[in-house]
C-alpha cells in the first residue's frame, strides 16, 4: 500500500469538487440558452410597437411671418459676400498667461522693455482681463515713452481691480501721465 500525504489527498478532493461543480454549471448553462432566444423575441416585439425616428420628425420650418417679425435674424448664405461677424477666438489659458507675465518680468528687470511688452501682450491674449499683465504692460509702455497707451492700460488695471495692490501706483502714474499730457497739448 502506498502512503499518500494528507495535503495531496485534500488537494485532490478539492480539485474533484471544483470539476464537478463546473460540470453542473455547464449543464445549467445549456438549459439557460433558451432564455436569450426568448429575450430576442421580446425585444423584436417591443421594437415593432415603438415608432422609429422617421415617424416622429419635427417640423423645423420657420413660422409664416418670421422674416417680417424678425428682420435682422436672417442667416447669411454661403454665396453672399457679406462680412462675417465671426471673430478669431483665442484659447483661455491662464497658465500660459502667467508664464508670459513671468518671462515679461524677467525682460523688464533686464531693462529689455520691448521684449517685456511683447510678453505682456501675449499674456493678455490668453487671459484678456489679467490685471497684473495690464499693469506691467502699462509700466513697460511708460518706460518706452508710449504714454497714451500706457495710460489706457493703467486705466484698464483700475477697471479690473479698483482697490487692488497696485491701484495706488496706477493712480499716481495716471496723474503723472495726465500732467505730462496737458503741457504737451498746450504747446501744440
Annotated domain spans of the chain: 94-182
pLDDT for the residue 58: 72
Summarize the chain as % helix, strand, coil (round to 5).
70, 0, 30
- DSSP state letters, 48-73: HHSPPTTTTPPP-PPPTTHHHH-GGG
Q: Does residue 79 have a pLDDT over 70?
A: no
Split at pLDDT 50, 70, 90, the class of 180 is: confident
Give the Cβ contact number of residue 129 at 10 Å.
Answer: 11
Q: Does residue 70 have a pLDDT over 70?
A: yes
Tell me which of 88 and 32 has the higher pLDDT: 88
Q: What are the CA-CA distances from residue 181 to residues 137, 148, 151, 170 (Å)?
A: 19, 9, 10, 16
Q: What is the rounded CA–CA span in Å between residue 89 and residue 129?
A: 15
Taken in order 93, 94, 97, 103, the sign of the CA dihedral is negative
- Mean pLDDT for 115-129 is 96
Q: What is the pTM of this model?
A: 0.53
Q: What is the rounded CA–CA span in Å between residue 170 and residue 152?
A: 11
- In percent, the amount of the chain with pLDDT more than 70 equals 60
pLDDT, tens digit, 9 for 90 and up, residues 149-171: 999 999 999 999 999 999 999 99
pLDDT, tens digit, 9 for 90 and up, residues 136-148: 999 999 999 999 9
Give the Cβ contact number of residue 135 at 10 Å.
Answer: 26
pLDDT for the residue 31: 47
pLDDT, tens digit, 9 for 90 and up, residues 90-121: 688 999 999 999 999 999 999 999 999 999 99
* 116 contacts 136 by C-beta, under 8 angstroms: yes
The CATH class of 94-182 is mainly alpha
Q: How many residues does the chain have?
A: 188
Split at pLDDT 50, 70, 90, the class of 63 is: confident
> Angle CA(121)–CA(112)–CA(122) in degrees, nearest 5?
15
pLDDT for the residue 59: 73
Amino acid at each position: 500500500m502506498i502512503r499518500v500525504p494528507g495535503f495531496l489527498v485534500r488537494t485532490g478532493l478539492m480539485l474533484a469538487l471544483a470539476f464537478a461543480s463546473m460540470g453542473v454549471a455547464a449543464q445549467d448553462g445549456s438549459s439557460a440558452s433558451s432564455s436569450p432566444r426568448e429575450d430576442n423575441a421580446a425585444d423584436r416585439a417591443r421594437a415593432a410597437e415603438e415608432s422609429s425616428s422617421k415617424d416622429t420628425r419635427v417640423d423645423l420650418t420657420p413660422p409664416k411671418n418670421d422674416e417680417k417679425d424678425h428682420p435682422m435674424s436672417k442667416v447669411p448664405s454661403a454665396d453672399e459676400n457679406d462680412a462675417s461677424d465671426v471673430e478669431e477666438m483665442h484659447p483661455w489659458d491662464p497658465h500660459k498667461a502667467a508664464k508670459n507675465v513671468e518671462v515679461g518680468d524677467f525682460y523688464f528687470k533686464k531693462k529689455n522693455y520691448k521684449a517685456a511688452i511683447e510678453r505682456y501682450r501675449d499674456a493678455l491674449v490668453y487671459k484678456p482681463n489679467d490685471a497684473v499683465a495690464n499693469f506691467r504692460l502699462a509700466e513697460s509702455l511708460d518706460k518706452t515713452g508710449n504714454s497714451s497707451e500706457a495710460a489706457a492700460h493703467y486705466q484698464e488695471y483700475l477697471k479690473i481691480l479698483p482697490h487692488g495692490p497696485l491701484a495706488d501706483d496706477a493712480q499716481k502714474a495716471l496723474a503723472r501721465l495726465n500732467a505730462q499730457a496737458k503741457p504737451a497739448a498746450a504747446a501744440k
